[in-house]
Structures are given as structure tokens and as C-alpha cells.
Amino acid sequence: MRPPRIFVSAGEPSGDLLAAELLDELKAYWPDADIFGICGPRMRATGAEALFGIEELSVMGFVEVIKHLPFLKHLEFSLLEQIERRQPDIAILVDYPGFHLRLADALRLRGIYVFQYVAPQLWAWGEKRTKTLRAVTDEVLGIMPFETSFFRERQVNFRYVGTPQVDRARLAVADRGRFGLDTATTIGFFPGSRTSEIRRLLPRMMLIRDELRRTQPQLRFALSMAPSLKPELFASILGEALGEPIVDSSDLTVYRLGDTTLVRGQSIHLMKSCDAALVTSGTATLECALTGTPMAVAYVMQPLSYQMAKRFVKLPHISLVNLVADMGLVREFIQDFAPSAAADELSQLAQPGTYRDEKRQRLLELCTRLQGDLAKNAAKAIHESWLRLYEKKSAVPVAL
């Protein structure tokens, strides 16, 4: 049996990591498979051939996507030309549904078996689009357990294969020394991995830091920067020159800025090393929760995008932590919140006492609701489907 030709596509850094982990597991089944697509640096490191880079797709928000539609359509046209030439057997589309659902339709029309890896959050904003998802994909491999009933009730071929944050949280180490942090109570700020997020949320986080400075000058702060971002972006928003890093290695760079330590890379270890954290809404909230660090969630959108989201999103919570817990386990600070309110919550979370202890215990209980080994489970599911598909393609009708 020959290995399949695999087209794989990720649209942003988080998808690049998920795809790379999956491709490493798929190599156990198909070490010589021809793998190509829209890749980031981690996918390239597995040996996947990049037809385009994820840097060309990193767009977020209703307004931002609309603004880039002409470019995305041109990229899609160029991509399909290459796909027709390369003739992949299967496609693995990782997250990024705005682009991937359109692409999936075109791929299926060309006879390609389509996996959507990470289900689009249709339970939040687009229940009616489940018909489209069902029509343009062959299988959906999801990463949240509460999605199973939602999608299966709507006849989507869905399988929960695990949650990536479980595996990453297991590897997290509380080690303040690696970041140059001392024993003082430290509050971490995690503003996200996209430039647009940083520009909107980081200034608000720094107002919260200033409020905490005013009321508790003994506190220390850690600010996380995704490896995909440039230090100059943070320097311009902070209004400070970064100077020489106190730690500078291949996967970790640390700058000291008075009572604030700026850390580029190793965010999950930093989460576990902090006494409390404020995390932008997204998968990072689940990572932080699973490390057991008491936390709050913050999110600031482009104003028009926010108004549209308010109209379409009908959920009691925005954070994955609260959605998995099915309750308001962590406080959420959305859009036009008061920095003093967030500062007060972080102060309570960071100080020893009943409030902090109860939050930590409930966060750690989330582990019982989530399954690990995501990449291994997803690779197994894809391999099993290919066996069935190959056997079907190879079947020869018996002459009567």
C-alpha cells in the first residue's frame, strides 16, 4: 500500500504547531509520504514542503478578514493550480475556518478527502453553517469534548481526538530562575500571539499593571511575548528601550524592565511560574488553567468586529475555560472594562487565601474532562480513514 500524498494547511502560529505535531506522528505510519501545503516554520522543520507561508494568512476578526479578501482569493486561486498539478489524496486543514471552509469545498470537488482538524466554533457564532461544514468536509477532528454532541446532533462526521493544552500543561515546569524572576509575588500578562491583539490589549494590560503598582508596589510582573512577534512591537507600546537581554537562547529571550520582566518564548512555563495571570481569550486560557495558575481572561476587539460579534455570538462565556467547565469559573474582562476591576481580581488571585485556593482546585479539576495525546489520536484517526479509503479505491468489481 502506497502512502498518501498529503496537502496540509495552517493559517497561523497555533495551527503551525498543531500541524507539526500531527505530521511528526503521521511519519510513524508513512515515513516517506509526500507532504506539502501552507506551512509555518514548525511544519517546515518536519520536512513538509511549503507552497505558501502562514505569514500570508495571519488575519483575524470580521473586519480584518473582509479587508484582505481580494488577496486571500488570489492566494486560493494560485494554491488550487498547484493542487491540481500535485494531486493530493487527502487534505488536512488546521483550524482557520474562514479560509479553510472555502478551500475545503474546492478540494472535495477535486476528489480529495478532507479532514478539518480543529472544529470551527460554530457553537458560538454560526450554527447555520454546520450544513456547510458537513457538505465540504469528510471528517472533523475536534479538540473540545463539549463539541461532540453539538456536531453529531447536526450530522457532522465529528470525532473528539484530544485537547492540545493537556499535553503541553503536563510538560510545564515552575522555574522562576530560568526567567530571572525572584521570589516576589509575580503577576503574568499574556496578550496573545497576533500583532493586532497586542496593539489592542497590551496597552490595557499595562494600565492594569499601573493600577497594581499603585496599590501594591511590592508586586512584580512578567509579560509574555510570542516567538513569532518582534521585540520592537512591545518596545514601542511600552515606550521603553529593551536594552540587552539577560537571557538569550534559541527558544528564550528575557529582558528586564524594572519591576517587569519581558519574556519571549516558553509561555507555558512562564504561566506555571507566575502566582496569577491575565490571559487573552483563546487556547492560551486553557493552557494556563491546566497549569493550575489562578487566572482571569481579557479580550479587546476592533470596535466594529466587537459590535458584530455581540450580534452573532450567543454564549454565556467567551473563554474556553468557562465553556469546558460549563460555569463562570474565571472572571472575564471584555472590551470596555475598568482596569481597576481587573487589577482587584488579579490581586485576590495572587494572594494566599481561600479565594486563590478554591480557584486553583477548580482549575485543576478540568483535567478530568479533557483527553491528552491529541497528535497521536488524530494521526491514528487519519491513518484508519486512509486504509478504508485506499481499500475502497483499490477494489476491483467482480465480473458476473
Provide the pLDDT for residue 128: 81
Provide the pLDDT for residue 386: 95
Provide the pLDDT for residue 66: 58
Provide the pLDDT for residue 62: 43
Q: Please, is 295 exposed, middle or buried when counting C-beta atoms within 10 Å of its C-beta (0-12, 13-18, 19+)?
A: buried
* Closest to 42 (Cα-Cα) out of 11, 13, 69: 13
Strand partners of residue 225 = 264
Q: Does domain 5-162+371-394 have CATH number 3.40.50.2000?
A: yes
Provide the pLDDT for residue 14: 82
| pLDDT, tens digit only, all 400 positions of the chain | 789 999 999 988 889 999 999 999 999 999 999 999 999 999 999 999 999 998 766 554 444 555 566 767 778 888 999 999 999 999 999 998 888 998 999 999 999 999 999 999 888 776 788 999 999 999 999 999 989 999 999 999 999 999 999 988 999 999 999 999 999 999 999 999 888 889 999 999 999 999 999 999 999 999 999 988 999 999 999 999 999 999 999 999 999 999 999 999 999 999 999 999 999 988 899 999 999 999 999 988 766 765 666 666 667 687 889 988 888 899 999 888 999 999 999 999 999 999 999 999 999 888 788 999 999 999 999 999 999 988 887 764 544 4
d(CA 108, CA 112): 5
Do the Cβ atoms of 163 and 139 come closer than 8 Å? no
Q: Please, is 111 exposed, middle or buried when counting C-beta atoms within 10 Å of its C-beta (0-12, 13-18, 19+)?
A: exposed
Cα 41–chain centre separation? 16
* Closest to 247 (Cα-Cα) out of 265, 230, 259: 265
Q: In CATH, what is the architecture of 170-369?
A: 3-Layer(aba) Sandwich (3.40)
pTM for the whole thing? 0.78
* Closest to 274 (Cα-Cα) out of 294, 253, 249: 294
Q: And the C-alpha cell for 132?
A: 456547510
Provide the pLDDT for residue 343: 98
Domain with CATH 3.40.50.2000 in the chain: 5-162+371-394, 170-369
Provide the pLDDT for residue 398: 43
Helix residue spans in 51-92 (DSSP H): 62-67, 69-86
E-strand ranges in the chain read: 5-10, 34-39, 49-53, 90-94, 113-117, 139-142, 158-160, 186-190, 220-225, 247-248, 253-257, 260-264, 276-280, 295-299, 332-334
Provide the pLDDT for residue 306: 57
- The cell 488570489 sits on which residue? 74
- Which amino acid, one-letter code, is at 54? I
Residue 238's φ and ψ, nearest 5 degrees, are -75, -20
Provide the pLDDT for residue 222: 98
